[in-house]
Amino acid sequence: MVPRGGGFGPDADDTGCTILHVDMDAFYAAVEVRRRPELRGKPVVVGGAGPRGVVSSASYEARKYGVRSAMPGARARRLCPHAVFLPPDFTEYAAASRAVMGIFRDVTPLVEPLSMDEAFLDVAGAVRLLGRPAEIATGIRRRVLEEQRLTCSVGVAPTKFIAKLGSTRAKPDGLEVVPADRVLEYLHPLPVEALWGVGEKSAEALHKLGLRTVGDVADAPLGLLRRALGEAVAVHLSELAAGRDPRAVVPHQPEKSIGAETTFDVDVADPRIIREALLALSEKTAGRLRRAGQAGRTVTLKVRLSDFRTVNRSRTLGAATDVAREIFQTAWALFEALRPGDRIRLVGVRVDGLAGSDDAPHQLTLGERETGWREAERAAAAAADRFGAGVVRPASLLRLPDRPAAGPPSRIDHDNAR
């Protein structure tokens, strides 16, 4: 690994290093600590509830005990039983994300968000007004701290790939500059897992070839990599290992799909429970479509069985929709046609083929009124914005005293957009 303090700090030569990768530090946990100052300095874990709960975020105090994002909640509790476990509040995180992204866009319009808590920035046009790239990065970090009471880490480099590596190594609350003429010095000692696109299987394949570091991959004949990994992956990794990454920062990249999914606390077979889950997910998906100003034509159902087999079924509609009722009816029809017979661990709903909702035609069936479910759902959404989530819900999602609860999902993917 590249030693910290080895000439890649904030004072390194940033000539030509106009790409920044800004990554918020333990974002969800940090937002929770911001509104609960009494938790500062304590191990905080967001998510992880229920027997199948998954950790969404962990403070650095919790990470000292080995707690990490995507870890099963049960394991996190064993590692750090005295941690404070909190349910996620994605409304609050989204508000914090918008504020942080606003700071980025004050610096440059060339901002490419990767998720709620990280983004690439191209600051080439801002250098003349705001100073060197490292100075711009320092200013961003200062504003995020002063205005949002949150910290972030920034990588400054000539390419996106190297900038992201830099922000990772700068964590937490740091700044790493990788000079353009020292990229290979920085990159080649890193393990092959540092390359984008190298997962467990491809790392194993590279190790079998005796390739342990990025430098090893850079020196390997392309034909050797092709035989082990295939043409596309071999070329991709060879380019990255040589420090070449021509991708530009692309602002406002449109989402390809929007959806949501839930994992049950216990595997279920009751069609009523699955139907309720699909209805709730359709409501959630439709709400995200409306907030994004999008509608889509293809509805996809995702079902993961108890043995972890995953089945996807899709249907393309005659016109784009952002209406929960239409999404649910399609998803339920797909499920009834599938009828897997096994107990189910996870279900998900996704809408693809997105277009602006105002531009997408809305198909009326014979005899249908010009105003209907779409307008009703928008009115319900407006009521929820004013009076709080859940004030207006489908009757089938209201829990009656004589109806047993299906049990809350241990995890909901609240940002299933691609």
Catalytic residue positions, numbered: 118
Q: Exposed (0-12), middle (13-18) or buried (19+): which is 4, by Cβ within 10 Å?
A: exposed
Show the tokens assigned to 178. 């990788």
CA distance 19 to 375: 44
Show the tokens assigned to 58. 């962990």
Of 48, 179, 51, give the one whose Cα is nearest residue 59.
48
* Strand bridging mode 44-47 / 152-157: unpaired
Residue 117 counted as an annotated binding residue:
yes
Residue 359 counted as an annotated binding residue:
no
Residue 86's CB is within 10 A of a number of other CB atoms, namely 20
Show the tokens assigned to 20. 């920044």
Task: Label each residue of 188-233 as H, E or C.
Answer: CCCEHHHCCCCCHHHHHHHHHCCCCEHHHHHHCCHHHHHHHHCHHH
CA distance 272 to 279: 11
- Annotated binding residues for Mg(2+): 23, 117
- Annotated binding residues: 23, 117
